[in-house]
Amino acid sequence: MQPLTATDPRRVGAYRLLYRLGEGGMGRVYLGRSPGGRTVALKVVHETIAGDPGFRRRFAREVRAAQSLRGAGTVPVLDADPEAEVPWLATAYVPGPALSDAVIGHGPLPQEALWRLLSGLAKALAGVHGAGLVHRDVKPSNVLLSQSGPLLIDFGIARSADETALTGTGLVVGSPGYMSPEQAEGRPLGPAADVFSLGAVLAFAATGRGPFGGGSVAELLYRLVHHEPDLRGVESRFGELARHCLAKRPEDRPTVTEIAAATEELAGTGPWLPAPVVVGIAQKAEELLNAEAEELEGKAEHLVRQQASGAVSGPDGVATTALPLHTPPPTAVLAGRSASGPTRARAASSAAPSRRKVAVRALTTGLGKPLYGLFFLIPVVALLIGGFDLLDRAAQYPSESEQQSGAHQWAMNDWWRFPVTLLLFGAMAWLHVYRKRLMTVPPVMVRLWSAGVGLYWIALMAGTALHLAWFMIVHEDMPYEAGEHPLLWVAMPVIIIGTGVSPILLIASVLRIVRA
């Protein structure tokens, strides 16, 4: 773990960044903390490639592929935003090295670890293939070593098994030295392509070198297609299985289910990693614990300073009464193991609002406040009352109300005006009352409420327009000798003000929702 630099962001989505874990051609990986206190690994794309539509499609495909997998041997995706200005992906944090780093740093794996590696990766690929996917990029750097077994990561170029092309003709996507011959030649791929890559990974883990040597990309691709793999130094039975996986023809390779069954008895269930790798994992875990302790200590000191000043910010940022100054400082509480979990959860929850709170706050501002509909409902009531007066006048002067125009006949048939007004008032009242429950109801109800608010505003503006049209038609046919109906002087200014304010509120609401 490396400290954040001045150019690194401090927050991505709802996650606060703590350290930098690494960097590759696609982006940087950070250690982050969720609002609930969970430690995550955040992959943040480089800004230079975030604007490429083709890359965004591949990144979104990685998210979908990874989220569709829930089996053993894969790292779960917790959150992602492929549509963000800088796309990102959050997965569970695994304090273990990549297979490539472990072998380069500590040498090839021993025989027991190799069988466990083969069994774990075969089961992980069985889950991938069972979901109808082909990983397409199985290589040592995409295998993490944990105490419980190997974990397969990075589904950036995974595709459905029935899709035959990834990119344009002649463009090869994958890792030279670990891709299959059919992948190197741009032919259609199936699950057998991942089996070939698995064999190459096994050879690397057993010898510390790739089975097709090094050199340029062109040399590697040529050897993949035309040369036999170099498996010198690989133990006989393990070497036979690796050679079977590295068969040139896809139909000659075993399936991952067959591999998993063949290695079940040899894999074992106890500790499997060499001592130097275990020590490295322990050191990473210790660094993580120290980082958490420093974070909690900083929050505790900040809380003590707030107490000394006489006010402590509550969850919504509102000042509340401070704890007595003789209350033991939080650092004393943190020293006990039994209190560390709840304290950490409280500290994390007070550090940043939850995603639900941010979303509800965005949805209930601007036009998300149904009471703003009074801008339209007040003139609707005025037009409704004035309409009764006009109908009375029509009854007194029947000669003036016998016009045969379609508009006039529609206007005189006014049965709908009172029910529509009641429905609009009822919708406003229900939406306003229900918005107070949005923090506790299921997410689907929040989305339905948001859609209801949109329909409410459409119906409100349409109802106002219909009432105004009705009033103008009847008023034109039933004029007063003294001039215009006095209710127009009340209704029209309010309608103009409401119509002018509503777009402003609508734009403000959209901006808040987009930012949230």
How many angstroms separate the CA atoms of 474 and 249, rounded? 84
The candidate with the shortest Cα–Cα distance to 465, out of 500, 505, 429, 495, is 495
Q: What does residue 110 show for φ and ψ, rounded to 5 degrees? A: -70, 170
| Type of residue numbered 1 | M
How many angstroms separate the CA atoms of 306 and 128, rounded? 51
In this structure, the strands spanning 15-23 and 143-146 are unpaired
Q: Which two tokens stand for residue 71?
A: 């089996």
b/e sequence 40-63, b meaning 16+ C-beta within 10 Å: bbbbbbeeeebeeeebbebbebbb
CB 266 within 8 A of CB 117: no
CA–chain centroid gap for 155, Å, is 16
Instruction: Respond yes or no: is residue 52 known to be catalytic.
Output: no
DSSP state of 155: -
Bridge partners (DSSP) listed for residue 45: 27
What dihedral do alpha carbons 142, 145, 151, 156 form, nearest 10°? -20
> Among the options 52, 81, 137, 162, which is catalytic?
137
CB 238 within 8 A of CB 113: no
DSSP state of 252: G
Report the Cα–Cα distance between both ends of the chain, in Å, rounded. 30
Ordered alpha helix ranges (H), 208-336: 217-226, 236-245, 256-267, 275-309, 330-334
| Type of residue numbered 463 | G
CB 297 within 8 A of CB 333: no
Q: Which residues are catalytic?
A: 137
